Amino acid sequence: MADMTVNQSAVRSKPAVNVNTRAIVMGLYLVFLILPIYWLVNMSLKTNTEILSSFSLWPRDLTFQNYATILTDPSWYMGYVNSLIYVVMNTLISIVVALPAAYAFSRYSFMGDKHLFFWLLTNRMAPPAVFALPFFQLYSSVGLFDTHIAVALAHCLFNVPLAVWILEGFMRGVPKEIDETAYIDGYSFGRFFIKIFIPLIASGVGVAAFFCFMFSWVELLLSRTLTSVVAKPIAATMTRTVSASGMDWGVLAAAGVLTIVPGALVIYFVRNYIAKGFALGRV
Amino acid sequence: MAWMAWTWQTAAFFGIIAALLITFTVLAIKFPETPRTGVLRIETTRGDRLFITLLGSAFINLAWLGLVGENQPYALGVCLVYAFAVFRWV
Amino acid sequence: MEKTVNQKAWFLVLPVLLLVAFSAVIPLMTVVNYAFQDTFGNNVFFWAGLTWFEELIESDRMWAALGRQAIFSAIILAIEVPLGIFVALNMPKKGFWASFCLVLMSLPLLIPWNVVGTIWQIFGRVDIGLLGYTLDKLGISYNYTQDFYAAWITVIVMDVWHWTSLVALLAYAGLQSIPDAYYQAAKIDQASRWNVFRYIELPKMAGVLMIAILLRFMDSFMIYTEPFVVTGGGPGNATTFLSIDLVKMALGQFDLGPAAAFSLMYFLVILLISWVFYTVMTNLDKREG
């Protein structure tokens, strides 16, 4: 923290070297972010013997065996498939139900709207730990235990409120005259909403989908509680690396790296969206 | 439904909450109101005051349980006084 | 924007209402039901009244966990919010480097939480982790599974690593909405860097910052997976935060009643604090608008 304040005062007093200080600050911060991830990648490319016997900043004895172990064993790679299935399902459900609701909140005032909005937000605030056990009972009783849809629905608990919140912010930025003009032109609500309104807030939908994907992908407690075999997420599969013969560090690291890949891909594809989306909406 | 382990006490509790919500909805339809600003210097409607009352009552009950520890029904009396204060001044 | 009064808007909200009611109201009712009963399994329940609440309020266990939780949330907010703003102020405004920073900064946010735990568990190990190894070679004794302070510092640094980017990205979004004209006007007035920040940038960021603080508060208050993977709540109970304690109770010992009572109190505390935050936030919004 100490050198940070020094940097900060440097920025303020000497605007001439602004650009350089900025680069240094960002450089330091990014290194801080990347270093632990680099270490994971580094370990995933080593053999277990190398990990435990010597200490090196890069793999001396490069191996892809750890990745091969995961990608050839269905009980491993199905974990990724399961996670992806319920994450995509959850994102779709969240966005589809959140769009009309966010429109209602941004355009109309109706009985109890503010209370409803706050109630939705409280669900975003409810700790998953509180709901883990009743969820298990609920989904067992309706016969959905260990299915993808169960996890997707459970994640709606915190993703739907978030999606409504984000989309409402974006929709508020669209002038109401557009709606009125469309209605005068004879558009029905449904056609106006899909043909005109959604394209207008496309970046907002992108940002909301990004956040839903993110929170569903990273959540473990509920997805682990609600599945056992068929829909087991990768995060739960990873505990397999602890065996009687000790930790399989290499495979654990490789599995970790592979969980980062989908996220990294998503960020890469929506990067311009995010920059634009963040700038446009209130988020 | 068996797994939800209903008891008549908790059912009655939720019944009362539901009744309160319905009452306040009906009130809001029959007698529309404008929000007012009270001692907390925030705008409140009847619904907001109901929420403040209910949330406060939960904490009053817990505090009574922790500090006094017996005669829990008296805590409800405190809640009523609190509710009156909230609806009068907040 | 002036909103039209339209009660039919309820129909648009209905799907969300039903979905969230299914996944929130039913489980919450169940938690309330459990909280007043005792069970020996097989869905046989006995009325226990306020026993669990009384037990919990008088037990040190819950108060200790609540205390640790409050301290943890306070510390990480105190670090992440200023640091996030500081990073956002230093981010490139546009072009390749802006996207580059955005992508790299979003990366920790998209890592599953148990993997975040695993990363730091490995990173901090004295034998195979870069951080632990370096500290050890520098002669600093560091062992997060044994030492109280090492465990806390590891968990806090991990959370800063994990979540500062969220604050930074939101603050950055707020900064992006400031028109260039504002800065030019400030330049003509020869405003100091501090004054630009205080009177132009901070007010424009106020809205998103409230969201960032609210999100960070809520998420840190229910943190479970990451510290659980790294320290397992130890050494002793040093990093047993509320959720960790709750899961230990509910799934580990299968004490449904006490766990449910615990959940309810936990939820009430979050509800209260969130309500205060939310009220302040909407009032700020109104005053600005």
- The fraction of chain B above a pLDDT of 90, given in percent, is 33
Q: Residue A120: exposed, middle, or buried by beta-carbon count in 10 A (0-12, 13-18, 19+)?
A: buried
CA C48 to centroid of chain Cα atoms:
34
Mean predicted lDDT score pLDDT of chain A: 82
Please indicate, yes or no, if residue C145 is contained in any of the structural domains. Answer: yes
Write the CATH number for C160. 1.10.3720.10
Tell me the angle at which helices B46-67 and C256-288 cross, rounded to the nearest 10 degrees.
140
Smallest Cα distance from C150 to chain A, Å = 17
pLDDT higher at A19 or C88:
C88
Note whether A59 and A65 are within 8 A (CB): no
Residue A272 has pLDDT above 80, yes or no: no
Q: Which domain, by its residues, includes C143?
A: 60-288
Mean predicted lDDT score pLDDT of chain B: 87
ipTM: 0.87
Note whether C188 and C222 are within 8 A (CB): no
What backbone phi and psi angles, to 5 degrees, belong to A145? -60, 140
Cα–Cα distance for residue pair A155/A235, rounded to 1 Å: 15
Cα–Cα distance for residue pair A155/A208, rounded to 1 Å: 14
Pairing of strands A108-109, C4-5: parallel
Cα–Cα distance for residue pair A183/C100, rounded to 1 Å: 42
Residue B67 has pLDDT above 80, yes or no: yes
- The fraction of chain A above a pLDDT of 70, given in percent, is 87
Q: Which of A109, A110, A113, A115 to mutate to test the interface with B (most CBs of B within 10 A)?
A: A115
**H-type alpha helices, chain C:** 9-20, 26-35, 51-58, 60-90, 96-106, 113-123, 130-137, 148-176, 180-188, 193-196, 202-221, 225-231, 242-247, 256-288
B25 chain-A contacts, CB cut-off 8 A:
111-112
Mean pLDDT value of segment A258-275? 80
Tokens 């994640």, residue located: A155
Question: Hey, are the CB atoms on A153 and C123 less than 8 Å from each other?
Answer: no
Instruction: Note the pLDDT of residue C285.
Output: 65
Report chain B's terminal Cα–Cα distance, integer Å. Answer: 40
B53 chain-C contacts, CB cut-off 8 A:
none
Number of domains in chain C: 1
Query: Nearest to residue C263, comparing CAs of C224, C232, C235?
Result: C224
C272 touches chain A (CB under 8 A): no
What is the CATH code for A73-281?
A: 1.10.3720.10
Question: Hey, are the CB atoms on C37 and B5 less than 8 Å from each other?
Answer: yes
pLDDT higher at A9 or C278:
C278
Mean pLDDT value of segment C106-131? 87
Query: Nearest to residue C164, comparing CAs of C216, C118, C117, C110?
Result: C216
* pLDDT tens digit sequence for A86-116: 999 999 999 999 999 999 998 888 888 888 8
Question: Hey, are the CB atoms on C47 and B59 less than 8 Å from each other?
Answer: no
DSSP-assigned letters across all residues of C120-179: HHHHT-TTT-HHHHHHHHTT----TTT-HHHHHHHHHHHHHHHHHHHHHHHHHHHHHTS-
Residue A50 has pLDDT above 70, yes or no: yes
Confidence band of C60 (pLDDT split at 50, 70, 90): confident
pLDDT higher at C216 or A203:
C216
Note whether C113 and C225 are within 8 A (CB): yes
Residue extents of the structural domains in chain A: 21-53, 73-281
Confidence band of A5 (pLDDT split at 50, 70, 90): very low
Confidence band of A126 (pLDDT split at 50, 70, 90): confident
| Distant-in-sequence, close-in-space partners of B45: CB < 8 Å, separation ≥ 6 | B28, B33, B35
Query: Nearest to residue A116, comparing CAs of C37, C202, C7, C112?
Result: C7
The whole model's pTM is what? 0.84
Mean pLDDT value of segment B40-66? 88
* pLDDT tens digit sequence for A213-263: 988 998 888 888 888 888 888 877 877 666 555 678 888 888 889 988 888
Can you tell me whether residue C46 is helix, strand or coil?
Answer: strand
| Distant-in-sequence, close-in-space partners of C229: CB < 8 Å, separation ≥ 6 | C113, C114, C116, C117, C118, C121
Q: What is the largest CA-CA distance in chain A?
A: 75
Please indicate, yes or no, if residue C44 is contained in any of the structural domains. Answer: no
A254 touches chain C (CB under 8 A): no
Residue A195 has pLDDT above 70, yes or no: yes
Q: Which two tokens stand for residue A260?
A: 């980062």
Mean pLDDT value of segment C161-173? 89
A112 chain-B contacts, CB cut-off 8 A:
25, 28, 47
Residue A271 has pLDDT above 80, yes or no: no
Residue A187 has pLDDT above 80, yes or no: yes
Question: Hey, are the CB atoms on C54 and B42 less than 8 Å from each other?
Answer: no
DSSP-assigned letters across all residues of chain B: -GGG---HHHHHHHHHHHHHHHHHHHHHHHS----EE-TTSSEE-HHHHHHHHHHHHHHHHHHHHHHT-S-HHHHHHHHHHHHHHHHHH-
Confidence band of C42 (pLDDT split at 50, 70, 90): low
Cα–Cα distance for residue pair A179/A176, rounded to 1 Å: 5
Residue A3 has pLDDT above 50, yes or no: no
Cα–Cα distance for residue pair A77/A83, rounded to 1 Å: 10
Q: Residue A4: exposed, middle, or buried by beta-carbon count in 10 A (0-12, 13-18, 19+)?
A: middle
Note whether A155 and A221 are within 8 A (CB): no
Smallest Cα distance from A151 to chain B, Å = 20
Mean pLDDT value of segment B2-6? 76
* pLDDT tens digit sequence for C67-102: 999 999 999 999 999 999 999 999 888 778 888 888
Confidence band of B82 (pLDDT split at 50, 70, 90): very high
Residue extents of the structural domains in chain B: 1-32, 34-90
Q: Which two tokens stand for residue B52?
A: 């403040």
Query: Nearest to residue C268, comparing CAs of C68, C26, C60, C32?
Result: C32
Mean predicted lDDT score pLDDT of chain C: 85
Smallest Cα distance from A124 to chain B, Å = 18
| Distant-in-sequence, close-in-space partners of A64: CB < 8 Å, separation ≥ 6 | A45
Instruction: Note the pLDDT of residue C41.
Output: 66
Helix %, strand %, coil % for chain A, to 5? 80, 0, 20
Can you tell me whether residue A109 is helix, strand or coil?
Answer: strand
Please indicate, yes or no, if residue C261 is contained in any of the structural domains. Answer: yes
Instruction: Note the pLDDT of residue A155.
Output: 92
B47 chain-A contacts, CB cut-off 8 A:
112, 114-115
* Nearest-CB residue to B10 (from C26, C36, C275): C36
Note whether A261 and A195 are within 8 A (CB): no
Q: Which of C22, C51, C54 to mutate to test the interface with B (most CBs of B within 10 A)?
A: C54
